[in-house]
Chains A and B, each alone.
Chain A
Amino acid sequence: MSSETSRMKFMCDSSRCIQCFACSVACAEAHDLPVGISRRKVVTLHEGVEGKEVSVSIACMHCSDPPCAKVCPVDCFYIREDGIVLHDKKKCIGCGYCLYACPFGAPQFPRDGAFGMRGVMDKCTMCAGGPEKTNSAEERRFYGQNRIAEGKVPICAAVCATNALLVGDAEDVSAIYRKRTSSRGKGE
């Protein structure tokens, strides 16, 4: 969060992720997410195969050029100055187009309408709430906590025990990752 052109990014270091699900659980708990919705998912590939097993935590990646915002028929997305991609649930019609455009499968749809019909889209807000008044009850009900406004780190990265999940300005995140990879195997 140093330069003026800072863009907030997530990064999951798969060499550190131990598939503890803390990020996913903390997120669901912090934002009172409905059953069946997890804004952050932990996926493990090659489970049980020695040397090949790898886990990674995935949520909205807050793209610099988000395809979801391009395809939305009601234009409900907006991008904050710091690069966090948010959406307005009062505009969203739950059509699902953002999910088709998204490379990361981030948008999800709680079945909260009458007869279990698909409701409005829900996705990771990087703990930055939504368009409603910051830290208002309404913002909290629709989008969960606004930790960014409180000067806190997003809950998923805050609880990550191995510091696999990094969040912050893209340059800072890549600097940390670069340091990690270059110093690997050089310690004691």
Chain B
Amino acid sequence: MKTIIVFIITILMLTSMAYAAESMIWGNMLIGNILSYGTKDSLNMGPLFTILQSQYFRNIFLVIVIGVPAVFLMHYLVLGARFFSHDGKKVYVFSLFNRLIHLLAAISFLVLIPTGLMMIFGVYFGGGPLVMTARHLHGLATALFFLAVIPMFFFWVADMLPTVDDIKWIAIFGGYLSRKQSEVPAGKFNAGQKMWFWIATLGGIVMIATGAAMYFQDFNLGIASAFGLSQIDLLRASAIVHNIMALLITALFITHVYMSLFAVKGAINSMITGYKEEQELKYLHSSFYRKLKAQNKI
């Protein structure tokens, strides 16, 4: 307990020191920033951010939040959901700790993604206190996600490493393009889940880092200089990376929700109870199923 308190105090002191130091944006470097803005020798971060933010980001997000659900709606209407018998045996796949951490991450995502979109489309909400509150909630939910992402990364990373099954899975799009019930090559997690895992954990850490940079804004921890950037260019780069990463995460999050809630009926139960239907494992995670069979765990 004592070490934790000391740790927290040290962090607070370090951050306040970073704040107390001379401004990294509005100090003497201001002249250099002005003179280099948009010149040939500079990284052109300012104009690049301006173009991306003013002309591209909002439109691409619009395509994602309308297009991705539209594609899945078509899929649902044309090919329909997968059903697996819920009367058969069940296999225990997710421990209580797995499920609790996943729940924490899920709650944080359910706050992060809508509040993030509220900021991007802030003009349609009229701005002001409503969108400002969304921005503050976005920051608070980051703390929740931060607590979830590290344990989540470590307890699933071994199962998330790429295998030969993943290539086969991608080649047939996980079998989601046909109505036929056939055994899909996948381990405990299929290639789609693996993609989501890496984007959500490593990408999530990038989101936390870039988001924190934008949140704290004027700090001096030697991060910008380590990248050979000025503080303002670090912020611009952070905003660009944060938005591009957010596009990926939003698209895959919608996919993740569709798969667990709609595409495979009852798939979400395994993340609530910890038990997965044997039939579901047999068809959608065939390699994993065979491995469990061989080990006499079923």
Which residues of A are at the interface with B, using a C-beta cutoff of 8 A?
Answer: 41, 43-45, 56, 58, 67, 70-71, 73-76, 88, 90-97, 99-105, 108-109, 113, 117-118, 120
Contact = CB atoms under 8 A, between A and B. Distances in A.
A61 to B, nearest CB: 9
A99 B239 CA distance: 11
Contacts of B26: 41, 105, 108
Contacts of B215: 118
Contact of B235 (A99, A108, A118): A99
Nearest to B239: A100
B46 A93 contact: no
Contacts of A96: 214, 217, 235
A100 B235 contact: yes
Contacts of A94: 132, 135
Given A70-B54, A100-B236, A103-B34, A91 B128 contact: yes
B30 A103 contact: no
A58 B38 contact: no
A122 B257 CA distance: 40
9 contacts: A41-B26, A58-B34, A71-B53, A73-B123, A74-B123, A96-B235, A99-B25, A99-B217, A100-B46
B126 A91 contact: yes
A105 B25 CA distance: 7
A45 B49 contact: no
Nearest to A109: B217
B98 interface: no
A73 B126 CA distance: 10
B127 A75 contact: yes
User: How many interface residues does chain B have, given as a range?
Assistant: 35 or more
Contact of A56 (B27, B31, B50, B135): B31
B31 A91 contact: no
B277 to A, nearest CB: 44
A130 to B, nearest CB: 14
Contacts of A105: 25-26, 30, 33-34, 232
Nearest to A118: B217
Given A101-B46, A113-B136, 17 more contacts: A71-B49, A73-B131, A75-B123, A75-B127, A90-B128, A91-B126, A92-B128, A93-B119, A93-B122, A96-B214, A97-B53, A99-B232, A100-B49, A100-B232, A105-B25, A105-B33, A109-B217
Instruction: Name the residue in A45, A99, A120 with the highest tally of chain B Cβ atoms < 10 Å from its Cβ.
Output: A99
Contacts of B127: 73-76, 88, 90-93
Contacts of B33: 103, 105
Interface in B1-51: 25-28, 30-31, 33-34, 37-38, 46-47, 49-50
B227 to A, nearest CB: 16
Nearest to B238: A100
Contacts of A103: 33-34, 37-38, 46
A117 B216 CA distance: 9
Contacts of B214: 96
Interface string B195-220: 00000000000000000001101000
A67 B46 contact: yes
B12 to A, nearest CB: 12
B113 interface: no
Contact of B30 (A58, A71, A76): A58
A67 B47 CA distance: 8
Contact of B131 (A41, A93, A102, A113): A93
B298 to A, nearest CB: 52
A91 to B, nearest CB: 4
B4 to A, nearest CB: 21
Given A74-B131, A93-B128, A41 B50 contact: no
A59 B78 CA distance: 59
Contact of A117 (B50, B120, B136): B136
Contacts of B126: 74, 91
B122 A73 contact: yes
B54 A71 contact: yes
B49 A44 contact: no
B97 to A, nearest CB: 31
Contacts of B27: 43
Contacts of A90: 127-128
A38 B284 CA distance: 62
Contacts of B139: 117
